[in-house]
Structure 1
Amino acid sequence: MTGELPVPAALTNTVQRWRDQDEPVQPPIRWSREAWRKYFPSQHAFLDALPEQIDRAEATRHAAHATTPEGAERAFLAAMIWGYGRVGYGPWRTARVLTENPHAVDRLAEVAVVAREQGGLAAFRDLASQPLRYLGVAFGTKYLRFVTAAHTSDKAPILDAVVRRWVSTHTGLHLMIDEWRPAVYEKYVALLTSWAAELGLATDTVEELIFRSAVSREGSGQWSESWAGSSSPEQRAQAALLELEQLFDTAEADQAREARHHLDELERIIRRGWAG
């Protein structure tokens, strides 16, 4: 059973360092206001009112009204701005989701209603039943995270390339996120729930700490696990895999599926090489 996997030492150490530092789990994210204004002229007032750096609390605040189409669009924008940060293609990819799916904001609002009334797993299943083209699991669960955080205590944890690769590296469990797979997401939530119970933390906090353990992002603490800067060849190899996989979060499903398969095979080779 997934829930029987022990808490990895890397996570236990990250939790302890975080508690010792007594600081926010994840720092706010910088973003380029002008880039987003270019693609969303009707949302200039909303975008201009956002702070220069967005954290999870700010994105959650804007998700409070996601059960209406107007609120869902703004909630989605806030989630994508937080998710992409200063990545240059973020505004274009976000606009593509909203413009190339008929009634996209209505669909996002419907999912928010499900999240409010039935919780995160139900919202994931609902979105999986009628997914929006160009919105994959990585960024879709970012939207679900903030919508559920705004409406219920049953927060839907984010499952993106960073978290997926970390879980694979530290447990050997491969979570396929090339498509919307409810069974995979339920397995992931069960795993985080079991770890959260053992660590005395909220499931959502465990996901944040996994992310922080995996990569050093702008403004993150100096104690974050830094694969790229490690002297270990295995950790440098894992860092390279992570950087490659992050590109697939916004790739077409077929391309991402094929690429992740090859990366998983490479990881198995790496793990066998150093284990032997």
Structure 2
Amino acid sequence: MGVPATDLSTLSLPGWAVPTAPRRVAVAGQAIRIRREWWQRSIASRRLPGAPPSASTLTRADVWEPGEDVFALLWRTLAWGSGSHLRQNSARLNSIERDLPRAAELLTRAAAESRRDPARAYAVLRPDRHNLIPGLGPSFFTKFLYFAGGGAPGHPCLILDRVVASALREFGWGSLHRAGPWPVDSYERYCGLLARWASEHGCAPDEVEAAIFSGRVTRPASTRM
């Protein structure tokens, strides 16, 4: 029997996770060093579409730039999310190379849905217990759904990864799995929860996500609540 779903209406955002820095600094300016040469070489060798990252550092604002080019957006998203650790990116690129038309169709639909409905967007890439693009799981594809918004403050899709999920469990969301993968309804509830907190604190939802992530990473465990 599964754990009963936590009532999120009772959860409050801890003081340390309330955004204080300007969005242009804490969100748009969040910079990650990447393995630029690896991305350029790996994408070119597979003859994959979409321009690879051209700089050694990417900010969130840089990732927002590709617009409607879903593959350029995906490469930047993966590079930003991976930083200096390549993790499973060779396997991800190989899976996309094996069925490029299907990947293009799924990414295009997911990007379009991300601007309207988090649940529908999430379900495009993971409708049940399986990722439709092998190797592209929620911790990475929610980044894609978020960046597909082009930096719009009201974009409804947000990044959900194990760092943020672990913090949310500390806040009282006991039914949320720390590491995922998460079902569609959990992602929908997550986006709604952060939208509520953002409204309560007069900021954008991605400011809350960024504050939770950075605070969870940098604060000692004994001071997080």
Same structural fold, with TM-score higher than 0.5 when normalized by the shorter chain: yes
Q: 1:46: Cα distance to partner?
A: 2.5
**Matched residue type, 2:157:** A
Answer yes or no: is the 8 Å Cα contact 1:7–1:195 preserved in 2: yes
Distance 1:155 1:56 in 2: 16
Q: Is the 8 A contact 2:114 2:146 kept in 1?
A: no
- What's 1:9 paired with? 15
Task: Trace 1:16-31 onto structure 2 (pairs within 5 A).
Answer: 16=20, 18=21, 23-25=25-27, 27-31=30-34
Cα distance in 2 for residues equivalent to 1:55 and 1:90: 21
DSSP-derived class of the 1:215 partner: helix
Per the alignment, residue 213 of structure 2 pairs with 211
Which residue identity is paired with 1:212? S
Distance 1:112 1:44, change over 3 A: closer
Partner of 1:202: 204
Query: Equivalents in 1 of 2:50, 2:161: separation in Å?
Result: 30
In structure 1, the residue matched to 2:93 is 95
Pairwise CA distance, 1:122: 2.5
Give the distance between the partners of 2:74 and 2:58, measured in 1 at CA. Answer: 13
1:228-239 aligned within 5 A: 232=222
In 2, Cα distance between equivalents of 1:150 and 1:9: 25
Moved more, 121-130 or 204-213: 121-130
Preserved CA contact (<8 Å) 1:141 1:158? yes
Q: Residue type matched to 2:214 in 1?
A: R
TM-score of the pair, normalised by structure 1 = 0.66
Q: 1:50 — aligned with what?
A: 54
Which of 4, 15, 32 is equivalent to 2:35? Answer: 32
Q: Distance in 2 between matches of 1:174 and 1:35?
A: 38
- Kindly indicate whether the alpha-carbon contact (under 8 Å) linking 1:59 and 1:79 is maintained by their aligned counterparts in 2: yes
Q: Is the contact made by 2:139 and 2:160 (CA closer than 8 Å) also made in structure 1?
A: yes
Other structure's SS at 1:149 match: coil
Letter in 1 for 2:191: V
Q: Give TM-score scaled by structure 2 length.
A: 0.80
Amino acid at match of 2:208: V
Residues 8, 174 of structure 1: alpha-carbon distance in 2 compared, 3 angstrom cutoff: farther
1:60 aligned onto 2:61: no
1:27 positional shift? 2.4
Do residues 190 (structure 1) and 192 (structure 2) align?
yes
CA distance in 2, matches of 1:112, 1:137: 14
Choose the corresponding residue for 2:77, options 66, 74, 79: 79
Cα gap change, 1:161/1:101 in structure 2, threshold over 3 Å: closer, same or farther? farther
Q: Cα gap change, 1:100/1:181 in structure 2, threshold over 3 Å: closer, same or farther?
A: farther
Paired letter, 2:40: R
Give the aligned residue type for 1:208: A
Any residues of structure 2 matched to 1:86-235 within 5 Å, and which? 86-101=84-99, 103-116=102-115, 118-129=116-127, 131-149=132-150, 153-176=154-177, 178-216=180-218, 225-227=219-221, 232=222
Task: Give the conservation status (yes or no) of the 8 Å contact 2:142–2:157.
Answer: yes
Greater alpha carbon shift after TM alignment, 71-80 vs 119-128:
119-128
Give the 3 Å change call, closer, same or farther, for CA 101–178 of structure 1 in structure 2.
Answer: farther
In structure 1, runs of 5+ residues without a counterpart are 66-70, 217-224, 239-276
Secondary structure in structure 2 of the residue aligned to 1:156 = coil
- Matched to 1:80, the amino acid is L
Aligned partner letter, 2:121: A
Letter in 2 for 1:28: A
RMSD of aligned C-alpha atoms? Answer: 3.0
Report the CA distance between 1:215 and its aligned residue: 1.1
Letter in 2 for 1:8: P
How many residue pairs match? The answer is 211
What per-residue deviation string (whole Å, max 9, x for no partner) do you get for residues 96-139 of structure 1? 341355621221112222234x3433312332327322211100
Q: Are the structure 2 counterparts of residues 93 and 51 from structure 1 closer, same or farther at C-alpha, using a change threshold of 3 Å? A: same
